[in-house]
Structure 1
C-alpha cells in the first residue's frame, strides 16, 4: 500500500485522535488540526510523519493556511476527513438563533471551508478522497432535543451527495460516514452544548438529555478503534462507498427509517402521484 497524506480535522480527541494514531501506525503522512495546538500535541505526541496544526475551522483563512502547510510539509494531499464538530441538545423552540447558527457554523460551514480549500489540489492531481463524518442523526432525526444537531448532519449528507457527483469526473471519491453511538467523549460536557434558556414544558427533551449524558454516555456499543479501522478499510477499497452506516445500531436505525419511508410512499402513492398534469 502506497503512503498517502491524510488531513484530519478535530483531531485532539475521539475519532480524530484515533485516525491520527492508526494512520501513523500504517505509515501514512498525517496533518491534523485542533482549535488548540497544545491539546493536539499533548494527545497525539510527535512523529516524523505527523504535522499538528492549530486551525479555526470557521475561518477560511485559517483553513487555507493549514492546507498550505500540509502541502509544504508533505508535497501532496490525498484524503481529507472532516471530523470536527460538536453536539447540541435542545428543543427546536428553545434554542436561540445564535445557538443554532453556531452549530451550523462548525458542523456544516466548517466542513465546507475545508472542502473549498482542498478541492483545487485534488482536482489538479485528478485523485483523492473526501470523507465527511456525519451521524446516523443525519438520516434519522427522531431524537427529542437533537433537531438542530440532526439538521446540521442532514445538511452534511445533502452536500456530500452533490459533491460526490461533482467530484467524480476528477477521479475524487466522496464518502459520508454515519456513526451510531460510539464510546468517545462526544456526550461529555466539553463536547455537548445545552440551551442557555430552557423551557420547562419540554420534558421529553430533558429526559433525552439526561439519558444521553447519564445512561448512554460510557455505555455506547460502538468501539471507536474498530470504527476508525472500518472507515480506513472502506477508504482503501477500489470503489469506496458513498454511504457508510457505522455501527450495528446505525445500520438498524437506517434500515428502520428506510422501511418507514417505503411504507409511507406506498400508503400515499395515489395521492402523491395524482398531482401531475393530465
Structure 2
C-alpha cells in the first residue's frame, strides 16, 4: 500500500517551487502544483506519473476551492501544503503606489490565506497534515531600503503562521514557517522582482540596493534550491517538525543579529517598559 504523502505546491512554475516539485516527483511523491499559466507549468515540470498541474488564481476563493477539490478527487487525500507563490516588490514607502502595495499583499498574503482557508477542512477531517508557509528572512529583518512593502507582506505571513500553528495543532496539523535567505533562483528576475513605477533619485540607498540586487546578487546567491527542497522534504517527514525554519547561513546570520538587537533593546529599556504598569 502506497503511504507516500500527497503534496500541493503553489507558485510551482519556477524557482524553489519548481525545484521542490521536481524533487518530490523524482522521489515518487504524488504532487499537485499550481501556476497562473498551465502550459508554462507543464513545460517546466515535464511528464510524470502522479503529477496534477493546476491553473489557479490564488486571489479567487472559488479557484482555490476548486483546485483543492481536484486534488482530493485525484489522490483521495492531501497531506502537505506548501504556500510558495509570491513575488518581490521594490520601492521606498514614499515611492510605491497604493495599487502596487495592495497587489503585493494580495499575492503574498491574501492568496496564501485563501489556500489555508480552503485546505483546512480537508486536513481537519483527516486529523493530520502539514502546512509550509514560505516567508523570507525579510519577514524577520526589515532594514532593507526599498523593500518595506515586501518585508511587510512577509512579516504578515510570519504573524498569521504563528497563529495558525496553535489553531491547527489540536487537529494534528503541523505548521512550519520558512525563512529563506538569498537562493539562486529567478526571484530577482524582472518577472518576480518588480520595481516601483515612480522611482525617485533622492533615495540613494534604495537605488544602490536596487542596483546591487539586479547586477551583483542575482546569479550569485549563496543558497542552493536543490538543498532547500531536500530540507523541506526532510521536515515534512519529521515526527516533530519545526515551527520556525531558517534556510541559508545568510538567513541564520541576519536573524541571529536581529535577536541580539532585540535582546539589547529589551534590557536597555527594561525600567521604562515596567514603569507603564499599574502598581498595586
Q: TM-score, normalised by structure 2?
A: 0.98
Give CA-to-partner distance per residue, 1:151-178, whole Å, 9 cap, x none.
Answer: 0000000000000000000000000000
Partner SS, residue 13 of structure 2: coil
Partner SS, residue 235 of structure 2: helix
Gaps of 5+ in 1: none
What is the CA-CA distance between 1:89 and the residue it aligns to? Answer: 0.7
Gaps of 5+ in 2: none
Partner SS, residue 53 of structure 1: strand
Aligned to 2:215: 214
Q: Does 1:167 align with 2:168?
A: yes
Whole-angstrom CA distance in 1 between matches of 2:191 and 2:227: 24
Q: Does 1:66 align with 2:67?
A: yes
Aligned to 2:26: 25
What is the CA-CA distance between 1:2 and the residue it aligns to? Answer: 2.8
Considering only aligned residues, what root-mean-square deviation do their CA atoms show, in Å?
0.8
Whole-angstrom CA distance in 2 between matches of 1:89 and 1:2: 43
Aligned to 1:234: 235
Aligned to 1:95: 96
Give CA-to-partner distance per residue, 1:30-79, whole Å, 9 cap, x none.
Answer: 00000000000010012120000101111111111111111111111000
Partner SS, residue 92 of structure 2: coil
Size of the aligned set, in residue pairs, is: 278
Q: Does 1:125 align with 2:117?
A: no
Q: Does 1:187 align with 2:165?
A: no
Whole-angstrom CA distance in 2 between matches of 1:138 and 1:71: 32
Whole-angstrom CA distance in 1 between matches of 2:130 and 2:87: 23
What is the CA-CA distance between 1:232 and the residue it aligns to? Answer: 1.2
Runs of 4+ in 1 over 3 A off after TM superposition: none
